[in-house]
A and B are shown apart, each in its own frame.
Chain A
Amino acid sequence: MTGREVVELIKKNSGVTWNEQSFRDTFKAGNPDSQVKGIASTMMTTFDVLKRANEAGLNMVISHEDTYWNDRDDTKDLTNNPLYKAKTEYILKNDMIVWRNHDGLHAMKPDFTVLASLRAVGIKAGDEAVMNAPVYTIPETTLGEFAAQVKRLTGARAFRCVGDPKAKISRILLGPGYATPRMRADVDVVIGGEQQEADGGFDNVEYVMDAASLGMAKGVIMLGHVMSEQPGMEHFATWLKGFVHDVPIRFIPNEEPFW
């Protein structure tokens, strides 16, 4: 089976009308017509993941995020960059294939990144878990208790919280990755991956700081981009095993990059 054939099977089984114009869901490096020996599902094609996949005999990497540190995987400014060269040479030398599955994955019902991220923070979610997910109500607790539970369940070290830890909360809205939702009236806690801290479309951080200053029960939990979407790629690997039987498939988690 070639990389291209694997991708065709994914499109066929996704249940979505695949957007062939997406600049994200394309082959990023390697020869798509190379034979696939094994598939690594991962969140981000880091150099570390490439090495671990290769050492495990998995030469096709399917990642949710980019390979060359920008959304378009634009490499025109990187042609003389030693890291770009080393990473690309590693991929080619080991006959690896990198394909990104971002827009297609987010279009699926459920969206694995949302479903698995909700479950990872202790919320029982089902097929309704898609982008612009519904608000989930949990038994009332404090923001501090809930944040501690999320930290325990996800193992995320570097996540960040804003708001009064003593605030009583129960209504949770989650958006993965860079799709951190805006705080709104019917929500107590927003959970996201990352978001520009200020001067954006809607600055959750300052909004929640001010809400806390007014005694309103509001909180933001930033899991970090990888930690917020990574569980979805484990889910994806399981799903892929349902129709790709000829080669080994493994989820290779990214290490949380922060100390």
Chain B
Amino acid sequence: MRRSHISRRQFALIAGSAGAAPFLLSGAEPLTAEGVIRRIQTELGGEWGSAGPDGFKAGDTSTVVKGIATTAMATLDVLKQAARANANLVLTYEPTFYGRSDGAPSATGRGPGGPGADDPVVKAKREFIAKNGLVVFRLRDHWQARKANEMVAALAESLGWSKYRLRSDDALYDIPAATAEAAVNAIRGRLNLRAGLRAVGDRRATVRRVLLYPGVMPLATMWQRYSEADLVVTGEVREWESTFYAADIFTAGGKRSLVTVGRVVSEEPGMRMCADWLKAVVPLPAGWIGAGDPYWRPV
């Protein structure tokens, strides 16, 4: 399934910024991928050890960077769009090679790893990256840690709810009253969702207070905070845990709802914000490319 209407818009975003920003500061050394990442690391601060998911995943780190693309997940379609837009450094929030280990053997040598280097999809993706001179860097923990709730602020902006935030240090929003069903439909439209959106709870209840939790909402948060809001919007939960907690609250008469929009989709706005932030950090064109809602269902 193609999502060309998204691609064109995102392509324009990158192309537009390429025209507006200077390619290189005059007299400055060309910035390599390594140099760009060093600037990002300095700006974000914190420890950048080898532990954790952040780091280079593919490509030659000495490549001169022409432009930067940010994305929630560096799928092959995203990489193709990046290459077309002349963005040869890709910063991705989620893995590139189908698992947390991102193509590397696990540190302990045990446990589940992603597919091996001889897997045909892995090989084709690596070949595409090499042929197009791309460099892929995973930027998750350090971007998420940058400023509390920035992923939240970005998601709220995408939903058109920025001005309804209750406190800058929390993720609660008081939106104009609507039924849960209407609020969920608005979310579906705003985030351009297909089958990735699933909702559970009381669809006829009135929603005013919303809790936003991009990414994966842990069970402990569900237990602690579900009753603070009329509607909780998150990326994903464990279905056999939090989804059925919400279902049980509904059976017990609770007038609340839980909506999951998809992990990657919920992280997209935060990575779009990352592209805007980058423009002030490195003198290079930067834009965001959406991976889109992966899911569909037959009618």
Residues of A within 8 A of B (CB): 44, 46-48, 51, 65-66, 69-71, 77-78, 81, 83, 86-87, 144, 147-148, 151, 158-162, 164-165, 177-178, 182, 185, 193-194, 196-207, 209-211, 213-214, 216, 222, 224-226, 255, 257-259
The distance from the CB of A60 to the nearest CB of chain B, in whole angstroms, is 20
Query: What residues on B are CB-neighbors of A198 within 8 Å?
Result: 73, 94-95, 263-264
B124 CB contact (under 8 Å) in A81, A204, A214: A214
State whether A209 touches B75 (Cβ < 8 A): yes
Q: Which residue of B lies closest to A157 (CB)?
A: B297
Q: Which residue of A lies closest to B267 (CB)?
A: A198
* Secondary structure type dominating chain A contacts: loop
Q: Name 22 A/B residue pairs within 8 A (Cβ), A-sorted.
A: A46-B244, A46-B251, A65-B240, A69-B223, A71-B241, A78-B223, A83-B252, A87-B252, A162-B296, A196-B236, A201-B100, A201-B113, A201-B114, A202-B114, A203-B99, A206-B75, A206-B94, A206-B95, A222-B295, A225-B243, A257-B247, A259-B199
Neighbouring A residues of B112 by C-beta, 8 Å: 200-202
Contact indicator A211/B121 (Cβ below 8 Å)? yes
- Please tell me if B198 contacts chain A, counting CB pairs below 8 Å: yes
| B24 CB within 8 Å of chain A | no
Complexed CA–CA distance, A225 and B251 (Å)? 19
Nearest residue in B to A84 (C-beta to C-beta)? B223
Asked if B239 and A151 make an inter-chain contact with CB atoms under 8 angstroms apart, the answer reads no
Q: Within 8 Å CB of A165, what residues of B?
A: 1, 296, 298
Complex CA gap A46/B181 in Å reads 23
Q: What A residues does B246 contact at CB under 8 A?
A: 257
Question: Does chain A have a CB within 8 A of B200?
Answer: yes
Contacts of A209 in B (CB 8 A): 75-77, 291, 294
Tell me if B219 and A69 are in contact (CB < 8 A).
yes
CA distance A165 to B95 in the complex (A): 25
Q: Which residues of B contact A178 (CB under 8 A)?
A: 238, 240
Bound-state Cα–Cα, A93 to B72, Å: 49
Binary contact track B209-242/A, C-beta < 8 Å → 1, others 0: 0000000100110010000000000011011111
B263 neighbours in A (Cβ, 8 Å): 196-198
Residue in chain A with minimal CB distance to B247 = A257
Contacts of A194 in B (CB 8 A): 238-240
> CB distance B298 to A87 under 8 Å?
no
- Given the complex of chains A and B, what is the CA–CA distance between A259 and B236 in angstroms? 16
Contact of A160 among B242, B251, B295 (CB under 8 A): B295
Measured in the bound complex, the distance between the Cα atoms of B276 and A164 in whole Å is 33
- Proximity bits, B62-83, A CB within 8 Å = 1, else 0: 0000000000010111001000
Residues on B close to A: CB < 8 A?
A: 1, 53, 73, 75-77, 80, 94-95, 98-100, 111-115, 119-121, 124-125, 181, 184, 195-196, 198-200, 203, 216, 219-220, 223, 235-236, 238-249, 251-252, 254, 262-264, 291, 294-298
Q: Say whether, besides A199-B94, A202-B98, A258 and B240 are in contact (CB < 8 Å).
A: no
How many Å lie between the Cα of A165 and that of B121 in the bound state? 19
Contacts A199-B53, A202-B115 aside, 10 further interface pairs with beta carbons under 8 A come to A44-B240, A69-B241, A69-B244, A160-B195, A182-B115, A199-B99, A199-B100, A209-B291, A214-B124, A225-B240
A182 to B251, CA, bound (A): 35
Please give me the 8 A-B residue pairs with the lowest Cβ-Cβ distance, nearest first. A201-B112, A160-B295, A148-B298, A47-B251, A197-B263, A213-B76, A210-B76, A198-B94
**Roughly how many angstroms separate A209 CA and B235 CA in the complex, as a whole number?**
18
Q: Are B247 and A206 in contact (CB under 8 A)?
A: no
B98, A69: Cβ atoms under 8 Å? no
Min distance, Cβ B203 to any Cβ of chain A, angstroms:
6
B77 lies within 8 A of A77 (CB): no
A50, chain B: closest CB distance, angstroms = 9
In the bound assembly, the distance between CA atoms of A164 and B236 in angstroms comes to 23
Tell whether, in the assembled complex, residue A77 and residue B114 are in contact, meaning their CB atoms are under 8 Å apart. Answer: no
Given A199-B53, A257-B243, answer yes or no on A210-B95 (Cβ-Cβ < 8 Å).
no
Q: Which of A48, A199, A213, A255 contacts B75 (CB 8 A)?
A: A213
* B1 contact set on A, CB distance < 8 A: 164-165
* Nearest-Cβ distance from residue A251 to partner chain B, whole angstroms: 18
Inter-chain contact A258/B200, CB cutoff 8 Å: yes
- Asked if B245 contacts A159 (CB within 8 A), the reply is no
Q: Return B229 CB to nearest CB of chain A, in Å.
A: 15
Contact: B73 with A206, CB < 8 Å? Answer: yes
How distant is the Cα of A46 from the Cα of B244 in the complex, in angstroms?
Answer: 7
CA distance A104 to B297 in the complex (A): 33
A70: which B residues are within 8 A, CB to CB? Answer: 219, 241
